[in-house]
């Protein structure tokens, strides 16, 4: 399929379980992803939801090949990247961006905001693309001179977003990127991402615990549980006709902003 940007088949990830490692010999393997399969159509937004520890971040990091699968197959734009070397991945990096769950730990504390955004562009902090990216995420241009520790949590998160969009990538993996933002800033960021998807044909994988945001942004949603896909549905279907008990449980746990509604 020409309009498929990612093809994922029977993807598995396991890690050595160091807590059960015998004194001599190899540690037993701990399965984190137990064979997941799905395709992502170009220019769409796929949501990934699921409980804490279900494997969302691991799946995301595997898609962008920060983690190497232990089995299965991963195609990006028709190219098999399942076991691609770091050197070969580097050629693809500008097209594949990610924005992480933990903004502080993904920013270099010794780089100013301007240099953080400019570095992957191979440009200087004064590059006009830096200013444009800051503006798009709603930060003043003067923030280019600040260091990460001089920012609030939400401001750091927006620097991560600015760095990713400045590259004009084909694909962005966004892991829990709006959960630290107030609703107004969330709305701004979502509008920006929607615009990039519509105008530039960006493809987005959006990991979030916030089902209101998922409903607003995604066309399709995958529900993960213990490293397996339990539901894969068009967004409207998922919300109106959730098939799996776990999906219903997730929907019921959302706090409705009204003190008179019991929870």
Please report, in angstroms and rounded to a whole number, the separation of the first and last CA atoms in the chain.
Answer: 45
Q: Which of 6, 8, 57, 166 binds another protein (CB under 8 A)?
A: 57
3-state SS, one letter per residue, for 204-263: EEEECCCHHHHHHHCCEEEEEECCEEEEEEEHHHHHHCCCCHHHHHHHHCCCCCCCCCCC
DSSP 58-86: HHHHHHTTSS--SEEEEEETTEE-TT--H
Which region among 55-63, 110-118, 121-129, 246-254 touches ligand ATP (by CB under 6 A)? 55-63
- Binding of another protein at residue 182 (CB under 8 A)? yes
- C-beta closer to ligand ATP: residue 179 or 219: 179
> Which residues touch 241 (CB under 8 Å, ≥6 apart)?
none
Which region among 3-11, 86-94, 120-128, 245-253 touches another protein (by CB under 8 A)? 245-253
> Cα dihedral sign for 179, 228, 65, 41?
negative
- Binding of another protein at residue 228 (CB under 8 A)? no
From Mg ion, another protein, ligand ATP, none, which one binds at residue 186 (CB under 5 to 8 Å depending on kind)? Answer: another protein
Distance of CA 19 to the CA centre of its chain: 29
Which region among 35-43, 44-52, 88-96, 122-130 touches another protein (by CB under 8 A)? 44-52
- Residues near Mg ion (CB under 5 A) are 57, 152-153
Binding site for another protein (CB under 8 A): 18-19, 49-54, 57, 101-105, 149-155, 158, 176, 179-188, 190-191, 209, 211-213, 215-216, 239, 249-251, 253-259, 261, 263
């Amino acid at each position: 399929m020409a309009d498929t940007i990612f093809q994922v088949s029977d993807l598995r990830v396991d890690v050595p379980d160091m807590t059960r490692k015998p004194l001599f010999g190899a540690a037993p393997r701990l399965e984190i992803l137990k064979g997941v399969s799905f395709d992502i159509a170009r220019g769409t937004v796929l949501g990934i939801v699921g409980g804490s520890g279900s494997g969302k971040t691991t799946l995301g990091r595997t898609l962008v090949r920060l983690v190497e699968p232990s089995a299965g197959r991963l195609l990006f734009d028709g190219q098999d990247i399942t076991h691609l070397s770091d050197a070969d991945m580097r050629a693809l990096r500008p097209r594949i961006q990610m924005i992480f769950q933990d903004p502080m730990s993904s920013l270099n504390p010794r780089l100013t905001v301007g240099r953080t955004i400019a570095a992957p562009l191979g440009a200087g902090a004064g590059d006009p693309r830096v200013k444009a990216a800051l503006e798009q995420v709603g930060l003043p241009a003067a923030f280019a001179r600040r260091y990460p520790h001089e920012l609030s949590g939400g401001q750091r998160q927006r620097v991560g977003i600015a760095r990713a969009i400045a590259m004009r990538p084909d694909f962005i993996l966004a892991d829990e990127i709006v959960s630290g933002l107030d609703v107004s800033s969330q709305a701004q960021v979502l509008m920006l991402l929607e615009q990039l998807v519509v105008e530039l044909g960006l493809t987005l994988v959006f990991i979030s615990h916030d089902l209101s945001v998922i409903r607003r942004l995604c066309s399709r949603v995958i529900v993960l549980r213990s490293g397996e896909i339990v539901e894969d549905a068009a967004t409207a279907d998922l919300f109106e006709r959730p098939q799996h008990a776990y999906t219903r449980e997730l929907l019921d746990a959302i706090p409705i902003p009204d003190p008179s509604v019991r929870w």
